[in-house]
Amino acid sequence: MPLSNCDFCVDQGGTFTRALNYVDSSNNNAFASAVSAEGQVRQEPYSTNIIATMTCTFSTVSTNNDTLTISLTSDQTQLFVPSYGKVLFYDVKVTFVDSSEVFILGGKIFPNFTVTRP
pLDDT under 70 in the chain at which residues? 1-2, 61-65, 84-85, 114-118
**CATH no. for 4-110:** 2.60.40.10
In the three-class reduction of DSSP (H, G, I as helix; E, B as strand; rest coil), residue 76 is classed as helix
The full set of domain ranges for the chain reads 4-110
Q: 32-51 pLDDT, tens per residue?
A: 788 899 999 999 999 999 99
pTM for this entry: 0.85
Instruction: Indicate the burial class of 81 (C-beta count within 10 angstroms; 0-12, 13-18, 19 or more).
Output: exposed
Contact indicator for 38, 92 with CB cutoff of 8 Å: yes
On whether the CB atoms of residues 79 and 51 are closer than 8 A, the answer is: yes
Give the long-range contacts of residues 54-61, CB within 8 A, separation 24 or more.
54/90, 54/92, 56/92, 58/31, 58/34, 59/19
